[in-house]
Structure 1
Amino acid sequence: MESKRQQKFAGVLQEELAQVFQRDGGAFLPNTLVTITRVRVSSDLAVAKVYLSFFNTTNTELSINTVNAHTGEIRYKLGARIRHQVRVVPELTFFVDDTNEYVERMDTIFDKIAKEPRQPEEESE
């Protein structure tokens, strides 16, 4: 369970990283919208796991690899934005948030189930 301090810091990171991706993300991911869906911070605030969702891209694996290749640059820009709020800029680790894909997959499964003909229930006496 995250402490209030971790949650608050994760919120700051999420907001500032969103600004970094909005302003500078087009340089390394052109025509791709990146959304920071969740940020998890370690108890010492030194490591942050950032979950990203990509829109307008066909290859999310390539997108996450591109972001990971630019981690140092992203961390530097984040540090410039939050340098007066923290002592140490956390190490960033990026992951793909695939909850949207999971929800879509579950919706298709439920649609298939709903379209199947129902078998009459047997009455037990």
Structure 2
Amino acid sequence: MNRGPKPTGPTQRMLRVGELVRHALASFFARDEIEDETLTGAVITVPEVRMTPDLKIANAYVMPLGGDRAEEIVAALNRHHRFIRGRIAPSLDLKFAPDLKFFVDDTFEEASRIDALLRSERVQRDLHEDDDQEPDSD
């Protein structure tokens, strides 16, 4: 039996659980419970958490305030992923707590790159070239 095209992208459940994990991580990071010199004093934001379809893995995209030492901080979080999982699991209210994997969130960097491209002389020239052309009067 064909049920039509498979949905692409995350399901509502994946999005809901991702938000649940994101909030739990943000609360955990605010408490500063990890004893690691790399993380001492680091203010870490969690813009997004993407869940795998089976909800077993949470890919958390994080960024330290100011973006300083992002790779170093993500490496430290990945070293402590089991500890973090154990600390946030009670607040998740899930049958199984997902395994955590941390990544540097590069969306701001990517947005800046795209903005710079759009402001470049070459793109501006192409945009103004279209303005200079007169519409056909046929």
TM-score by length of 2: 0.72
1:95 corresponding residue in structure 2: 103
Shift of 1:75: 0.6
Shift of 1:6: 1.3
Whichever residue aligns with residue 73 of structure 1, its letter is F
1:78 corresponding residue in structure 2: 88
Shift of 1:79: 1.2
Cα distance in 2, alignment partners of residues 5 and 107 from structure 1: 33
Confirm whether residue 39 of structure 1 aligns to residue 49 of structure 2: yes
Whichever residue aligns with residue 64 of structure 2, its letter is F
1:17 corresponding residue in structure 2: 25
Gaps of 5+ in 1: none
Cα distance in 1, alignment partners of residues 83 and 64 from structure 2: 19
How large is the Cα RMSD of the aligned pairs?
A: 2.8
Confirm whether residue 49 of structure 1 aligns to residue 59 of structure 2: yes
Superposed structure 1 runs of 4+ greater than 6 Å apart: 120-123
Q: After superposition, give the CA deviation of every residue in 1:40-90 in whole Å (9 maximum; x if it has no partner).
A: 1122211111111221453211111111111111111011322xx211110
Structure 1 vs Structure 2: percent identity of aligned residues?
26
Gaps of 5+ in 2: 1-8, 134-138
